[in-house]
């Protein structure tokens, strides 16, 4: 199974490497007010992908914080109270 995973990773790497080699020509990205950016096409695609991932992560941060806070509250509710844990146990008189 480990070799199959490495084979899949190698196939993905070589596919992306071939994509990068085939797309070395310059691309121009036009922004507002006449500004532009000239870079190889593969860098433009990589930058667009990175911006998309960053936007997605920033969009998920508030939900992650809410889930962490809810998990912390649930964990604190399951923990035994500190006073009861520190109190000595009452003697048990069996019948």
Where exactly are the structural domains of the chain?
41-75
Q: Integer distance in angstroms from the first to the last C-alpha of the chain?
A: 61
Provide the pLDDT for residue 37: 87
pLDDT in single tens digits along all 95 residues of the chain: 888 989 999 999 888 888 888 877 888 888 899 888 898 888 888 889 999 999 999 999 999 999 998 888 888 877 665 655 555 666 666 56
Provide the pLDDT for residue 87: 57
Provide the pLDDT for residue 74: 86
Provide the pLDDT for residue 61: 92
Q: 3-state SS of the chain?
A: CHHHHHHHHHHHHHHHHHHHHHCCCEEEEECHHHCEEEEEHHHHHHHHHHHHHHHHHHHHHHHHHHHHHHHHHHHHHHCCCHHHHHCCCCCCCCC
Provide the pLDDT for residue 45: 85
User: Could you tell me the pTM of the whole model?
Assistant: 0.55
Nearest Cα to Cα of residue 44 among 57, 59, 31: 31
């Amino acid at each position: 199974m480990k070799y199959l995973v490495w084979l899949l990773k190698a196939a993905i790497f070589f596919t992306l490497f071939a994509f990068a080699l085939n797309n070395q020509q310059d691309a121009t990205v036009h922004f507002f007010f006449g500004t532009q950016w000239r870079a190889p096409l593969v860098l433009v695609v990589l930058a667009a992908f990175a911006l998309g991932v960053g936007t997605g992560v920033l969009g998920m941060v508030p939900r992650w914080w809410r889930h962490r806070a809810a998990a912390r509250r649930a964990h604190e509710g399951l923990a035994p109270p500190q006073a009861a844990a520190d109190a000595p146990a009452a003697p048990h008189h069996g019948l």
